[in-house]
Structure 1
Amino acid sequence: MSWTEMALNGRILVVDDAMENVQILHAALQDEQEVLFALDGARALELARTQHPDLILVDAVMPDIDGYAVCQLLRAAPETRDIPVIFVTALKTPEDETRALEAGAADFITKPVNAAVVRARVRTQLTVKRQADALRALTLTDPLTGVANRRAFDERLEAEWRRCARAGLPVALILVDVDHFKAYNDHYGHQGGDACLVQVAAALRRGAGRTHDLVTRYGGEEFAILLPQLDTLGAEGVAHRLLEELAQLDLPHAASPTAPHITVSMGLCSMVPREGQGHEALFAAADALLYQAKAGGRNQYRMADDAASIAAR
């Protein structure tokens, strides 16, 4: 991505209690960016959580929740703390700017605004954010398979658990273990084992097809698939697709006592987070079910509700 591309086509949230100010900023940015707006701090925080803007422009002086408090609350929440904030305000003193920067602002623009200056400052912050996002993505990606790594899984599980707890929605988890992978490595060599994991990860990504599902290489030949807003039956549907994708892959495994091709064992469950309940319970349940699937002969999954096993097709 070029520097110019990094600075364009962002999602910008404008927060100001005066509609005329919102309209001025919208007019300045609409040709280069997607512009959302909020007329108060509470609505701004809601849109920041649900719409994931790339950048927020906020007025300092607003009723109820002012810009300083909005910025501090954004910085305090894991799901919004990386969104840069520019103050756009009629306040002009060095003390006002210092207070904004101490609250976590990335920049400070005084009113009345100059459209060219606003566009330039927005482009700069978008470029910085996208560079930071790209670097962060490298730290959250498994270098072999290209899926998320364990750090990414831990962060995402924490965020989805909190979000679904607020909304009263379920979170589903599938733990996947490649059957007899040590025997595969011994027979085909470690390069063959690496190639196998790359293909298995790609099959899992195809099976978990929603954009907000997260496929993770949790460690070695173990994968974890996080499925926000899915109940147990929904997760079972994903498990069926995973088995179908792996069956179509038809990777030979001459050393497997289970089947002549690569198979997996899975444990899956879903929970609606309750107040005071940590996500450790979800992971522990899926892990216990995975153990049951392996102990029951592998090449199958076990579910939380009836612990039924279903052979891979």
Structure 2
Amino acid sequence: MYNLINEALTNTNSQPDSKGNILLVDDLPENLKLLSDLLSKYGYTARSVTSGARAIKTAKAKRPDVMFLDVLMPEMNGYQVCQAFKADPDLCDIPIIFISALGDTVDKLKGFEVGGVDYITKPYQVKEVLARLEAQLIIQKQQRSLQDEIAKRKEIEEVLYQSRSLLSSILNSALDGIAAMQAVRDPATGEIEDFRCLVVNPIISKMLGRNRDDLIGKLVFRRFIEHIDPHLFARFVEVVESGDPLDEDFYYPLDDSDSSWYHYVAVKLGDGFAVTVRDITSRKQTELALQEANRKLELLANLDGLTQIANRRRFNDYLLFHWQHHQREQKMLSLILIDIDYFKLYNDSYGHQGGDDCLIQVAQAIAKVPQRVVDLVARYGGEEFAVILPNTDTEGALIIAESIKQAIADLAIPHQNSMVSDRVTLSLGVASMIPSVGQSLEVLISNADNALYKAKKCGRDQAIAHID
């Protein structure tokens, strides 16, 4: 790992402008130097401290954009340092990425529970560290952009309630479109037939493709607005009749313009209304980018890094959801627990890299067996896997289990130290039940685990169902 990092540092040109201010917290100076040199070479400004107390003091003196935090430290461990940051109003929103040799699921879950945004396991890959760091910096930048945009919009909306003299002074200099409309009513029925433009600023006239002199006093509003949305005119009428404001976004691509999204606020003004229109295309693009970043982060949080199938966290959430659903619907829910036979001996024979390759092949083969979208295949832990089969009875679950067993047999992965075969085999435990009110889902897990134990005890390389 150190050779990979040093090679990356050698081949990377330093950048004159800092891409972010990063605080590194680790009690081992050699770890701090290695990571600090890496970040500096990639254009980041890195500061290093060796304790939680110094981290708090340093962050208060100069706020970092992101903090990398080790878990195992004297006096205050990483989890305690993270909790201290989250309890401080001035530091609570600093993204904290744990970077630790502790790779168990429980350690990672603890990191997320105390407020960490990500968790990187040592030894780490350079590209992984940089990718996760960049994701956090992008999210921060987008959030600041959204906050600035919202603040600007509120300022414009407050202007609407100022006096006529103030409104007149800002019309020609405003970046938003501003207009005031007067209702034109049918003399016989009193119903609003159209709106006459009383005030129109240059932005509005540009949107309408008309000169201001051609708009003021004219009846052009209904024809234009129904071109955007046939139902929108009636809603503006409702603003005048009820006094309730409108506050919405709308999509309207203009010719020879990159703008396509707008936000408008319409409020009652006498027997008519005032409206402001803002181009929010950039904000919409930022929102979409933020949604994509959040989607990728959620995917990382629910995916097993090695096998690329669902992880234990996703398994727990999914099983709980379907347990409660099947409890309400009184339908059968099945669970298959799977263990690779004599996997420790496999690691002893082929090494940990060979073991990882075996886990990946087995996981991907298992994942291809269930055909329904609602079925979930997850890594349960180590060499154990689990399959959740909603609305499936024991007979159906056993069919899936046998298909999984056959899929692994078809892989024909050599296993010279196995006690049951010269190829990799599986033991599978199947449990099915209709959840009852007040019953814990641990019963289903325990039944599947007992069936798995029985499959191992009876010679392995087989699937056994739990029988009540």
Does TM, scored on the shorter chain, surpass 0.5? Answer: yes
Q: Which residue of 2 aligns with 1:53?
A: none
Q: TM-score, normalised by structure 1?
A: 0.60
Change in Cα spacing, 1:117 to 1:259, as seen in structure 2 (3 Å) is same
Aligned-residue offset at 1:125? 4.7
- The alignment-based identity, stated in percent, is 41
Measure the CA separation in 2 of the matches of 1:123 and 1:237.
48
Change in Cα spacing, 1:237 to 1:128, as seen in structure 2 (3 Å) is same
Give the count of matched residue pairs.
204
Q: Secondary structure at the match of 1:165?
A: helix
Change in Cα spacing, 1:277 to 1:111, as seen in structure 2 (3 Å) is same
Change in Cα spacing, 1:250 to 1:123, as seen in structure 2 (3 Å) is same
Matches within 5 A, 1:163-202: 163-202=325-364
Matches within 5 A, 1:274-289: 274-289=436-451
Change in Cα spacing, 1:231 to 1:113, as seen in structure 2 (3 Å) is same
Conserved in 2, the CA contact under 8 Å of 1:251 and 1:261?
A: yes
Q: Which residue of 2 aligns with 1:156?
A: 318
Measure the CA separation in 2 of the matches of 1:278 and 1:168.
15
The one of 262, 265, 282 equivalent to 1:117 is 262
Measure the CA separation in 2 of the matches of 1:231 and 1:156.
18
Conserved in 1, the CA contact under 8 Å of 2:430 and 2:465?
A: yes
Matched to 1:303, the amino acid is: A
Measure the CA separation in 2 of the matches of 1:91 and 1:181.
68
Q: Secondary structure at the match of 1:293?
A: helix
The one of 336, 361, 370 equivalent to 1:208 is 370
Conserved in 1, the CA contact under 8 Å of 2:416 and 2:422?
A: yes
Q: Which residue of 2 aligns with 1:83?
A: none
Measure the CA separation in 1 of the matches of 2:380 and 2:391.
21
Aligned-residue offset at 1:113? 5.7
Q: Which residue of 2 aligns with 1:270?
A: 432
Q: Secondary structure at the match of 1:207?
A: coil
Change in Cα spacing, 1:298 to 1:137, as seen in structure 2 (3 Å) is same
Q: Which residue of 1 aligns with 2:295?
A: 133
2:393 is aligned with 1:248: no
Aligned-residue offset at 1:124? 5.5
Matched to 2:330, the amino acid is: G
Q: Give ranges in structure 1 of 5+ residues lacking alignment.
A: 1-26, 29-89, 93-109, 307-313
Highest Rg: 1 or 2? 2
Matches within 5 A, 1:1-313: 92=245, 110-111=246-247, 114-115=250-251, 116-117=261-262, 125-305=287-467
Conserved in 2, the CA contact under 8 Å of 1:176 and 1:264?
A: yes
Conserved in 2, the CA contact under 8 Å of 1:232 and 1:305?
A: no
Change in Cα spacing, 1:290 to 1:117, as seen in structure 2 (3 Å) is same
Matched to 1:232, the amino acid is: T
Q: Secondary structure at the match of 2:428?
A: strand
Aligned-residue offset at 1:126? 4.8
User: Relative contact order (alpha carbons < 8 A, sep ≥ 6): 1 or 2 greater?
Assistant: 1
Change in Cα spacing, 1:182 to 1:112, as seen in structure 2 (3 Å) is closer
Measure the CA separation in 2 of the matches of 1:287 and 1:175.
7
Measure the CA separation in 1 of the matches of 2:358 and 2:306.
11
Aligned-residue offset at 1:123? 6.2
Deviation digits for residues 260-289 of structure 1 (CA, Å, limit 9, x no counterpart)? 100010100111111111211100100011
Further displaced range: 116-125 or 295-304: 116-125
Aligned-residue offset at 1:114? 3.7
Q: TM-score, normalised by structure 2?
A: 0.41
Q: Secondary structure at the match of 1:176?
A: strand
Q: Which residue of 2 aligns with 1:32?
A: none
Q: Secondary structure at the match of 1:270?
A: strand
Aligned-residue offset at 1:256? 0.6
Conserved in 1, the CA contact under 8 Å of 2:450 and 2:466?
A: no
Q: Secondary structure at the match of 2:308?
A: coil
Deviation digits for residues 227-282 of structure 1 (CA, Å, limit 9, x no counterpart)? 11111111111112101111110111111110010001010011111111121110
Q: Secondary structure at the match of 2:290?
A: helix
Change in Cα spacing, 1:256 to 1:128, as seen in structure 2 (3 Å) is same
Measure the CA separation in 1 of the matches of 2:301 and 2:416.
35
Conserved in 2, the CA contact under 8 Å of 1:174 and 1:266?
A: yes
Measure the CA separation in 2 of the matches of 1:228 and 1:197.
25
Root mean square deviation, CA, Å: 2.5
Measure the CA separation in 2 of the matches of 1:286 and 1:244.
20
